[in-house]
Amino acid sequence: MKLLEDRINSDGRILGDNILKVDNFLTHQVDYNLMKAIGKRFADVYKNKGITKVVTIEASGIAPALYTAESLGIPMIFAKKAKNVTMNEELLTTEVFSFTKKVTSTVSISRKFLSSDDKVLIIDDFLANGQAALGLLKLIEEANAQAVGVGIVIEKSFQTGRQLLLDKGVQLTSLARIGAFEGGKIVFAPADDV
């Protein structure tokens, strides 16, 4: 997605060997015009696949997931990282290791929001080693729902997540794919939506 690649080039900052900071349009301050365009793009790719729910993980997946859900006209569910007292129903839970926080957290979705009738599109902000998306796939499997696809805003293709997800047999749609960070520059690989 050209608009997204241009924004990554203008506003993205490379941290260390393998982290991209995009906190002025995606992970902290959020550009709703760009999120809307991203949501529309995911919806265009998946509109004929009978998707019934969009599922993401808090926090930074929520903005692109919500606009995708709006575009498809279906609900968005975000997996929660901390249990609170209002979550008193039966929960689907799994452990996810966070690439950026380096901690494992228990993530959960109330069972009542996913059933065997659901066809799910997972959306997330980044794909690195695939732990967040694999965790969501587990929750969807636990609900006996069907995971149809995974939509990623920014994939770092030099990490292991892409292959792990393709091995699971789901469709993967990454709107921007970073092949490498070279000499302080971002080198893009061909995106999945073109």
Q: Name the residue nearer to ligand 5GP (CB basis): 29 or 88.
A: 29
Rg for the chain, CA atoms, rounded: 16
Q: Give the footprint of ligand 5GP on this chain (CB under 6 A).
A: 19-21, 27, 60, 98-100, 124-132, 156, 161
Query: Measured between alpha carbons, how far is 178 from 184 in angstroms, rounded to an integer?
Result: 13
Closest approach of ligand 5GP to the CB of residue 124, in Å: 5
Contacts of 165 (CB under 8 A, 6+ apart): 127, 130, 133, 134, 150, 172
Q: Name the residue nearer to ligand 5GP (CB basis): 4 or 20.
A: 20
Q: Name the residue nearer to ligand 5GP (CB basis): 73 or 183.
A: 183
Closest approach of ligand 5GP to the CB of residue 115, in Å: 25
Q: Which amino acid is at 83?
A: K
Query: Measured between alpha carbons, how far is 164 from 180 in angstroms, rounded to an integer?
Result: 19
Q: Name the residue nearer to ligand 5GP (CB basis): 114 or 176.
A: 176
